[in-house]
Amino acid sequence: MKEKSVSAPIDAGVRIGHVHLKVADLERALKFYCGVLGFELQQKFGTQAAFISAGGYHHHIGLNTWESAGGSPPPPRSTGLYHVAILYPTRALLADAVRRVLAANVELDGAADHGVSEAIYLRDPDGNGVELYRDRPESEWPRTPNGELTMFTRQLDLAELLKN
């Protein structure tokens, strides 16, 4: 079958609604996502699945053990989810999230300034990559004189972020 060419971009109103993660231990995952990050449990199906969110939405994150109970993270150099990105609406709320993570002794994989956003990288108890980030206002995004986006990766000053 010949591929159909796409002439128009996807509608700007389209959003990624939620992520569903396979976990080895549902209670351990809930302790991290609800206990550390502060998501709220919306519904739980025994020891097999749970749906969590911010602000009462039906779910931003689904957690399940259907094919992964007692399992181990995928090995390095394999395909799969790189990370799930959790967007915070303000710098102060991102700083609060980082304080929660540090207080829980969760190790950070990194902290980056991408010009368009500030991001903290870590792993959940199952080894899934997690990015906690906030977008800068679009008017502050780095651009060339022609208006093209010029994202970058620089070290984020965590001490400065935590002053918020």
Which pLDDT score, from 0 to 100, does residue 32 have? 98
Give dist(CA 48, CA 50) in Å, integer: 7
Residues 112 and 153 reside in one and the same domain:
yes
The angle subtended at Cα 39 by Cα 94 and Cα 89, nearest 5°, is: 30
Q: Determine the 3-state secondary structure of 44 from DSSP.
A: strand
Q: Does residue 76 belong to any structural domain of this protein?
A: no
**Phi (first) and psi of residue 71, to 5 degrees:** -75, 175
Residues 94 and 161 reside in one and the same domain:
yes
Which pLDDT score, from 0 to 100, does residue 1 have? 54
Residues 99 and 139 reside in one and the same domain:
yes
Q: Does residue 77 belong to any structural domain of this protein?
A: no
Residues 61 and 116 reside in one and the same domain:
no
Q: Does residue 112 belong to any structural domain of this protein?
A: yes
Tens digits of pLDDT across the chain (164 residues): 556 666 899 999 998 889 999 999 999 999 999 999 999 999 999 999 999 999 999 999 999 999 999 999 988 899 989 999 999 999 999 999 999 999 999 999 999 999 999 999 999 999 999 999 999 999 999 999 999 999 999 999 999 999 99
Q: Which residue from 119, 161, 127, 109 is spatially nearest to 32, judged by alpha carbons?
A: 127
Q: Does residue 47 belong to any structural domain of this protein?
A: yes
Residues 90 and 155 reside in one and the same domain:
yes
- C-alpha distances (whole Å) from 39 to each of 8, 35, 60, 129, 137 are 36, 8, 9, 17, 25
Which pLDDT score, from 0 to 100, does residue 76 have? 87
Q: Are 22 and 29 in contact (CB under 8 A)?
A: no
State the residue range of the domain holding 30.
17-69
Q: Does residue 4 belong to any structural domain of this protein?
A: no
Residues 53 and 91 reside in one and the same domain:
no
Residues 116 and 163 reside in one and the same domain:
yes
Please, how many CA atoms are within 13 Å of residue 147, restricted to the half-sphere of its CB? 0
